[in-house]
Amino acid sequence: MAKHRGRGVATINYPIGMNLGGDPSQALVHSNPTGKFSVALSSIDLGQGMKSVTRQICAETLGVPVEDVYVDTADSDTGPHCMGSFASRGTHRVGNAVMAAAREARAVMMEAAAEELEVDPGDLETDGRGSIRVKGAPHRSISVRDVAIAAQFRQGRTISGRGIFLVPLSDVDPETGEMSPATCYAHACLIAEVEVDDETGEVTVLKMTSAYEVGRALNPRLVEQQLVGGSWMGASHALYETPEPYYPDTRDGPRDFGDYLMPGPGDLCPHDISVLERPAPDGPFGAKGIGEMCANPVLPAVANAIFAAVGVRIDELPITPEKVLRALKARGGAAPARAR
């Protein structure tokens, strides 16, 4: 009786947004009279960071500090239409809509500033710290706050913008499946190291090493949050969870977290993540979506690592100790596939 270690790998890609497109999102951006911006959305923040990502995109596009932007989500009376928070579409679709709205608002802001400074709008730039200045003559500047006050009370302009992003719906050829499923894809490779106890059948995930290509990491902390959380979900899917333990038999379904198995904090393993950025031509600052893909490579990488450790293939999820033991018994014991 012994514990055996093995490593397994998986490489995947993931399509961004609803399959075939046809899933629009809109955004409205406007300034209050003192130069603070609101983004109105009907998109949902599930915890993934929708508010924060769109806030940074809006601030970058407007050229103002992120503190001067606030994102309001999910009121159908004030937020324009969004298809929803799913299909890894939030960053890509909503981000692009916010970017378009912010561009329109920025154009008005620059015109208002130009009128105050008596220059051409094309000669102005934002400094990203709350001021607008003449290119090459930074002493000639005006604060965004003063621009907003002037626009509101003197010029009669609304510093606001509308944005929508839509990938047109693709046809599908019924005979061949020819279609345009997505405009961009994110990528990943994940290596899982596991330990398999050949006496109990228990599998412990010891370490994950991964590389994710995400287009652009708009906020590295949110990327990390997604990738770590997702890998945890993947390990849980691979080894623990199911509401139908004897599928397709429907017996013995769990009723609560007492008998629905999931890993606890003590089962979390170190995860060494590298992030690559190959910008998507149609992504906001090149960004793709990572919401869904981050659980996917973990499942096969763990299964492949189990094979490397003890030489058995478990092709049915979840890979419970019972399945491991039965497979080991059928095989006549553990036989590490190869050292790696």
Residues of this chain, 170-189, that bind other proteins according to CB under 8 A = 172, 174-182, 184-185, 187-189
Nearer to other proteins, 99 or 108 (CB): 99
Cα angle for residues 93, 94, 100 (degrees, 5° grid)? 95
Longest dimension (CA), the chain: 86
């189990």: which residue's tokens? Answer: 306
Residue 293's nearest CA partner among 17, 22, 44 is: 17
- The phi and psi torsions of 317 (rounded to 5 degrees) equal -90, 155
Nearer to other proteins, 164 or 189 (CB): 189
Nearer to other proteins, 75 or 120 (CB): 75
DSSP letters, 165-206, are: E-PPPPPB-TTT--B---S-EEEEEEEEEEEEETTT--EEEE
For residue 140, the minimal CB distance to other proteins (Å) is 21
Per-residue x/- mask for other proteins, residues 310 to 339, rule CB under 8 A? ---x-xxxx------------------x--
- The phi and psi torsions of 119 (rounded to 5 degrees) equal -135, 180
Burial class (CB in 10 A: 0-12, 13-18, 19+), 301: buried
Nearer to other proteins, 148 or 216 (CB): 216
Selected binder of other proteins within 190, 205, 235, 312 (CB under 8 A):
190
Structure tokens at 203: 């599998």
**292 tagged catalytic:** yes
For residue 173, the minimal CB distance to other proteins (Å) is 8
Assess contact for 42 and 82: CB atoms under 8 A. Answer: yes
Distance, in Å, from the CA atom of 230 to the CA atom of 61, rounded to the nearest integer, reads: 29
Residues of this chain, 9-68, that bind other proteins according to CB under 8 A = 9-15, 19-20, 22, 42-47, 49, 51-52, 55-57, 59-60, 63, 65-66
Residues of this chain, 218-237, that bind other proteins according to CB under 8 A = 218-225, 227-228, 230, 233, 237
Distance, in Å, from the CA atom of 189 to the CA atom of 194, rounded to the nearest integer, reads: 16
For residue 33, the minimal CB distance to other proteins (Å) is 22
Q: Out of 115, 116, 277, 292, pick the active-site residue.
A: 292
Distance, in Å, from the CA atom of 324 to the CA atom of 189, rounded to the nearest integer, reads: 25
Distance, in Å, from the CA atom of 253 to the CA atom of 167, rounded to the nearest integer, reads: 40
Per-residue x/- mask for other proteins, residues 109 to 148, rule CB under 8 A? -------------------x--------------------
Angle between helices 220-239 and 298-310 (to 10 degrees): 50
In this structure, is the dihedral angle defined by the CA atoms of residues 113, 27, 86 and 183, taken in order, positive or negative?
A: negative
Nearer to other proteins, 114 or 187 (CB): 187
For residue 102, the minimal CB distance to other proteins (Å) is 11
Nearer to other proteins, 160 or 231 (CB): 231
The yes or no reply on residue 243 touching other proteins (CB under 8 A) is yes
Assess contact for 254 and 243: CB atoms under 8 A. Answer: yes
**Among the residue ranges 131-139, 160-168, 217-225, 324-332, the one whose residues contact other proteins (CB under 8 A):** 217-225
Distance, in Å, from the CA atom of 97 to the CA atom of 56, rounded to the nearest integer, reads: 13
Residues of this chain, 248-277, that bind other proteins according to CB under 8 A = 248-250, 253-257, 260, 262, 270-277
Distance, in Å, from the CA atom of 200 to the CA atom of 325, rounded to the nearest integer, reads: 7
For residue 113, the minimal CB distance to other proteins (Å) is 18
**Among the residue ranges 101-109, 145-153, 160-168, 301-309, the one whose residues contact other proteins (CB under 8 A):** 301-309
Nearer to other proteins, 200 or 274 (CB): 274
Catalytic machinery residues: 292
